[in-house]
Structure 1
Amino acid sequence: MLSSSTDVVALARQEAFKDFSFFDEETVPVNIHKPILLQLLKATSAIILTGYIPENASRFSVNLICKAVGNIALHFNPRLDRGYIVRNTRVRGFWENEETCSSAGSNGCIFRRNTYVHLMIFCTNDAFQIAVNGEHFCAFYYRLPLDDVTALEVNGSIQDVRIRQHNLFIYPDPNISRPFRILVLTTEEPLVDFLEIPITVDIGSKFCVGARLFIVGRLKLLPHSFYINLQKGKTIYPHPIILLHLNPRFLYGNSEPYVVMNYWNNGTWGHEERHQGQLSWMPGRDFVLIIRCEYEGYTIWLANKMIGEFKHKLESSNADTLRISGDVVLYQLSMSYT
């Protein structure tokens, strides 16, 4: 018989470690009761953190703190007791507008009690890219300069924390990432299985004039935003060429939702176009979104109503990948030609 509850916890942690397939031998144990100094962060910097989430865990946070007192560049806060994750920045001791998202991943909830977790924070030119257990999970765009970050702070219900810092030149890192299922979208039949968000899909036919892309799904109950990219290439870093970036954003109060459209080429975004007005986006409701490739550009339809258009900036047939991420649930993807 185990002598105390301490022994029970220790045994549970040992068993969880045996099931942990992302242990990183180069990480080192750290004392989470004080800030952990970091090397200067820049684009290509990566921070890897592993730790144990105990059986009674409610929430924990990982903060990138800055040299100015009271500033936090990234607050990443899984709340297991609420089933969602908060991302935010703190400036001069005051929190800014938080971003929230579900903690669901392709294998259920990505943060589970009595398990070890592998967390990677990768720095690009404009955002922190965050991967959990080898899978890209979300991005958080910089609100404070990256080179202001001096230390890592860990709080809450997480134990046996180990970290390391290094540089990556491809993200997601193929040496860490799970082998992912290759989904190919063609005109032959719709995709209805394995549509977990975020999702990256091969476009099996040229996306040229006459192409129609149908996206059937449901908006989550507390949406912040989601995006759809028609792009060339699958990596997040180096940044792929994006022929169409479609980004619905949802606000509350008296503000109407709106859609941002843009493209990325030669290392930069183009001129952002905003399409505002009543778009009939309802949290928790199903939708059918259609992207049509026309001679002069793309037209975007929500059911039978056109909600915007975007002139071609790049050759549409170069698109070989569809990527969707954010606060939506997907039911079906299909493509046709007229």
Structure 2
Amino acid sequence: MAVLAYLLLSVGDDLVEIVNVIIRSGGSFAECRDYLQCRRQEQLFRYYIERYTKDQSNVAGVMSTESLDSCDYAYQDSPQSPGSISLDKSSSTEIVYTLENITEVSAGLSFVISGNILLTCERFSINLMLKNSDLALHFNPRLPQNYIVRNCRVKGVWGKEEVASPLSFNLHRGQKFKIQILVTDKEFLICVNGRHFNSFQHRLPYKKICALEVKGDVKDVAVEQIYIENYPDIVLDEIEQIPKEVFTLGEILDSSYKIMPYTGRLTQPFTNGKNLHIRGRIKLLPHSFYVNLQSNHFCWPHPNVLFHLNPRFGSVGGKHVICRNSWINGKWDREERSENLTDFMPGKLFHIKIACSDISYQVYLNEKLIAEFKFREDPRLVETIYIQGDVKVFDVVLESKPIEQ
């Protein structure tokens, strides 16, 4: 009844839409809320693109030197036009911090930027600059929209933006922030408030970076430069190990979601006779997710991934591609894939069991075998379980062999 009341308030008395949302969400209040919020953001973004395209079509023969989302547009709800978009000329372009004496830039250099976000914050940006005012990295959180733009600028022209990220938006008005940007040979790695956020591949020579500036609605900014050997430095979730004779799967509660992407540490080797249990829920509009059994929890240097399990949901009708592979010594090995009818469904619960035998990992979904992957490296090297993608995770548990007397 609570779900039905919420839907009536959110979408009105459109019975077709109400039934559609209930089917999508599986009847879960939290899933209904997430789906409606996602739909709302998509509608706003679609309106934004149409509005921008219409405005640009009226300017014949003129090419903008600004990136689409780098224009000063912001979502503004008003009584006259809820969800409409208007120009926002706030203090988002004001320079609040500049660092010019940058250490010689090479792989391993890390910038740690901290400060406070204003209560009135619309957006702010962190720019890594070259001498000619080109930007090797433009990192631009948009608080009204709850996403972060990454881009570069060459001779006044913005490049193609990147906005997707596996990490939920975790910057909030009136709170402190801490952003780490690590320079590697191929890309920038970015950590937001203690969790790896995303990467941005180099489009300009990173060794020519000579300055860092912070603009926008923040204050009390401080920047630290330091060389590091691995990234990120995070607190790991310790995976519980339960003896087989007392192993049970507990009740699933919406309040027991793990922080995603999930990184868990094994306290004992994952070897023959042990089972790794992962329980969660598929998101409402899934594309894919993956589970890595890897040698450590770092993003850089890249760990060896002894088993990469990657279900993909591109097809319809319950048939999904299940990809398996390994990343050893800096590269992907030969991929194995199969297309199976599975129990993976949008909004539905799932239980994955990865059983370690004497020669392979065997993957079960809701007690049905869906894939097998023969060892390419010693399974004793697995220390970390990493999960990312279009799932919510409740439990990650290691079921061990009976205790020897």
TM-score band (shorter)? Answer: 0.5 to 0.7
Judging changes above 3 Å, is the alpha-carbon distance between structure 1 residues 320 and 33 closer, same or farther for their aligned structure 2 residues? Answer: closer
- In the alignment, residue 168 of structure 2 is paired with which amino acid? S
- In structure 2, the partner of 1:298 is 361
- Say yes or no: does 1:83 pair with 2:146: yes
Gaps in structure 2 of 5+ consecutive residues: 1-93
Judging changes above 3 Å, is the alpha-carbon distance between structure 1 residues 155 and 320 closer, same or farther for their aligned structure 2 residues? Answer: same
- Say yes or no: does 1:273 pair with 2:335: yes
**Cα deviation, residue 114, structure 1:** 0.9
- In the alignment, residue 188 of structure 2 is paired with which amino acid? F
Q: Deviations over 1:134-185 (max 9, x none)?
A: x223231525366366254544433343323221123234xxx6xx365233
- In the alignment, residue 286 of structure 1 is paired with which amino acid? L
**Cα deviation, residue 55, structure 1:** 0.7
Deviation larger for 51-60 or 225-234? 225-234
User: Pick from 44, 53, 62: which aligns with 2:117?
Assistant: 53
**Cα deviation, residue 66, structure 1:** 6.3
- 1:118-129 matches, within 5 Å, as 118-129=178-189
| Structure 1 vs Structure 2 CA RMSD | 4.1
- In the alignment, residue 197 of structure 2 is paired with which amino acid? C
User: Pick from 329, 349, 370: which aligns with 1:286?
Assistant: 349
Q: Deviations over 1:206-245 (max 9, x none)?
A: 3223432221112445666544221233444444333123
Of structures 1 and 2, the one with the larger relative CO (CA 8 A, separation 6+) is 1
- Bigger helix fraction: 2
Judging changes above 3 Å, is the alpha-carbon distance between structure 1 residues 281 and 210 closer, same or farther for their aligned structure 2 residues? Answer: same
> Is contact 1:83-1:102 (8 Å) kept?
no
**Cα deviation, residue 314, structure 1:** 0.3
Q: Deviations over 1:58-85 (max 9, x none)?
A: 3333344568987x65444433223344
Judging changes above 3 Å, is the alpha-carbon distance between structure 1 residues 68 and 210 closer, same or farther for their aligned structure 2 residues? Answer: farther
- 1:34-183 matches, within 5 Å, as 38-39=102-103, 41-64=105-128, 74-87=137-150, 93-96=158-161, 98-103=163-168, 110-133=170-193, 135-140=194-199, 142=201, 144=203, 147=206, 150=209, 151-152=211-212, 154-173=214-233, 180=235, 183=238
> Is contact 2:322-2:339 (8 Å) kept?
no
SS of equivalent to 1:186: strand
- In structure 2, the partner of 1:212 is 275
- In the alignment, residue 158 of structure 1 is paired with which amino acid? V
SS of equivalent to 1:95: coil
**Cα deviation, residue 333, structure 1:** 1.6
- In structure 2, the partner of 1:187 is 242
**Cα deviation, residue 261, structure 1:** 3.6
SS of equivalent to 1:172: coil
Distance of 1:313 and 1:214 partners within structure 2: 22
- In the alignment, residue 119 of structure 2 is paired with which amino acid? E
Distance of 2:205 and 2:323 partners within structure 1: 25
**Cα deviation, residue 118, structure 1:** 1.3
Distance of 2:357 and 2:106 partners within structure 1: 40
Judging changes above 3 Å, is the alpha-carbon distance between structure 1 residues 221 and 194 closer, same or farther for their aligned structure 2 residues? Answer: closer
- In the alignment, residue 206 of structure 2 is paired with which amino acid? D
Distance of 2:215 and 2:300 partners within structure 1: 29
Judging changes above 3 Å, is the alpha-carbon distance between structure 1 residues 166 and 98 closer, same or farther for their aligned structure 2 residues? Answer: same
**Cα deviation, residue 42, structure 1:** 3.0
Gaps in structure 1 of 5+ consecutive residues: 1-29, 105-109
TM-score (norm 1): 0.67
TM-score (norm 2): 0.58
- Bigger strand fraction: 1
> Is contact 1:215-1:289 (8 Å) kept?
yes
User: Pick from 294, 304, 310: which aligns with 2:373?
Assistant: 310
> Is contact 1:292-1:300 (8 Å) kept?
yes
- In the alignment, residue 169 of structure 1 is paired with which amino acid? E
> Is contact 2:106-2:183 (8 Å) kept?
yes
Judging changes above 3 Å, is the alpha-carbon distance between structure 1 residues 94 and 234 closer, same or farther for their aligned structure 2 residues? Answer: closer
- 1:315-334 matches, within 5 Å, as 315-334=378-397
Q: Which structure has the larger Rg?
A: 2
> Is contact 1:85-1:101 (8 Å) kept?
no
> Is contact 1:44-1:123 (8 Å) kept?
yes
Identity between Structure 1 and Structure 2 (%): 32
Distance of 2:285 and 2:99 partners within structure 1: 33
SS of equivalent to 1:99: coil
Distance of 1:247 and 1:305 partners within structure 2: 17
Judging changes above 3 Å, is the alpha-carbon distance between structure 1 residues 61 and 197 closer, same or farther for their aligned structure 2 residues? Answer: same
